Amino acid sequence: MKRLGAALGSLLLLAAANAEARELRVCADPNNLPFSNDKGEGFENKIAELIAKDLGATIGYTWWAQRRGFIRNTLRAQECDLWPGIASGVDLVAPTRPYYRSTYVFVTRADRKLDIASFDDPRLRGLTIGVQMIGNDAMNTPPAHALARRGMVDNVRGYMLYGDYARPNPPAAIVDAVAQGEIDLALPWGPLGGYFANREPVALAVAPVHPAQDGPWPMTFDIAMGVRKGDAAFKSEIDAALERNRAAIDALLDAYHVPRLPEPAAGSTAPPPPAHN
């Protein structure tokens, strides 16, 4: 009996040790606020921490710039297991349930009182407009295509989505340009626009773009987390944790000024930035 008791005790200690040793391995960009950075300051960092706590796990990161090769060198290489902040339609991974829905936005100086929210506003032709550029024209952001469809090219200025990676917050340049009067209006992805607009020294106005679908280009996206295809049990765990932490996630998104549409709706077909395989 003593031996049996000792054996059972050892098994219980081993099980407890394994439970304590669980690690949530997250794939993230080390310089991509408001989403993530290696200081843990992004809202995706904070959401990942909520999920890890919910699962009784510690959190560990594989840092990789979200450029070409991101998925190949992180999820597919088995270096990490969870990629926060993807559009639900990305087919390179298995997406979880969406936990927010956002949109591209118009960002202007509040003192200009432009109040532009539609690509069909005739005043756009007389304004200098900033759009985020990805590099390959076929993969440029939806607002860039919406303006081009209307013949607006000469008054459009491109700001690389990834920017100068040697500097902090490279995607902020497009919002800085509005605050500094270099351009009249910017069209960034909503979470980026909302976050950086609220950090500028001058008041900026942020408004969702319309229409929400412009020709073949959606302007709104359901945002989820990605896991490896075939990892159904882990995906179910993350889905459940996202649901249990919904109120806390909403509070975080509010704190980071993330523009959101009322209800997530499945079916987005492309990510705000492209997914990098």
265 — pLDDT class (breaks 50, 70, 90): very low
Amino acid identity of residue 138, one-letter, is A
Q: What is the spatial distance between Cα 207 and Cα 228, in angstroms, rounded to a whole number? A: 35
Query: Does residue 264 carry a pLDDT above 60?
Result: no
* pLDDT at site 91: 83
* Alpha-carbon distances, residue 255 vs 60, 168, 191, 259 (angstroms): 24, 21, 11, 11
Q: Give the strand pairing for 129-133 and 100-103.
A: unpaired
The structural domain count of the chain equals 2
Q: What is the spatial distance between Cα 157 and Cα 175, in angstroms, rounded to a whole number? A: 12
* pLDDT at site 139: 66
* pLDDT, tens digit, 9 for 90 and up, residues 95-141: 999 999 999 999 999 999 999 989 999 999 999 999 998 865 446 89
Q: What is the spatial distance between Cα 86 and Cα 96, in angstroms, rounded to a whole number? A: 9
Same-domain pairing of 110 and 204: yes
Sequence-ordered alpha helix ranges (H) in 113-231: 142-149, 173-179, 190-197
* pLDDT at site 200: 97
Residue 188 and residue 35 in contact, taking contact as beta carbons nearer than 8 Å: no
CB atoms within 10 A of CB 2: 6
Residue range 234-260: average pLDDT? 98
Residue range 165-176: average pLDDT? 88
Same-domain pairing of 112 and 214: yes
* pLDDT at site 22: 93
11-20, 155-164, 209-218: which has the highest mean pLDDT? 209-218
10 Å CB burial of residue 69 (0-12, 13-18, 19+) is middle
Angle at CA of residue 75, ends 249 and 132, nearest 5°: 65
Same-domain pairing of 174 and 148: yes
Same-domain pairing of 172 and 118: yes
* pLDDT at site 14: 45
* pLDDT at site 21: 79
* Domain CATH for 247: 3.40.190.10
Same-domain pairing of 160 and 27: no
Same-domain pairing of 213 and 110: yes
Sequence-ordered alpha helix ranges (H) in the chain: 2-20, 43-54, 70-73, 142-149, 173-179, 190-197, 232-244, 246-255
Residue range 20-35: average pLDDT? 92
Query: Does residue 10 carry a pLDDT above 60?
Result: no
Q: 171 versus 251: which is more confidently predicted? A: 251
In a domain, 267, yes or no: no
Q: What is the spatial distance between Cα 104 and Cα 260, in angstroms, rounded to a whole number? A: 10
Q: What is the spatial distance between Cα 93 and Cα 162, in angstroms, rounded to a whole number? A: 22
* pLDDT at site 135: 62
Same-domain pairing of 111 and 137: yes
In a domain, 260, yes or no: no
Out of 103-112, 156-165, 194-203, 209-218, pick the least confident. Answer: 156-165
Residue range 26-51: average pLDDT? 96
Residue 84: give the domain boundaries.
Answer: 23-101+222-255
Q: What is the spatial distance between Cα 128 and Cα 180, in angstroms, rounded to a whole number? A: 13
Q: 128 versus 164: which is more confidently predicted? A: 128
Query: Does residue 267 carry a pLDDT above 50?
Result: no
Q: Mean pLDDT, the chain, as a whole number?
A: 88
Which among 125, 29, 124, 30 is positioned nearest to 85, based on CA atoms? Answer: 29
* pLDDT at site 199: 97
Q: What is the spatial distance between Cα 235 and Cα 22, in angstroms, rounded to a whole number? A: 16
Query: Does residue 68 carry a pLDDT above 90?
Result: no
* pLDDT at site 90: 84
Q: Which residues, 6+ apart, have CB-to-CB distance to 161 below 8 Å? A: 132, 133, 134, 141, 171, 273
CB atoms within 10 A of CB 30: 16
In a domain, 261, yes or no: no
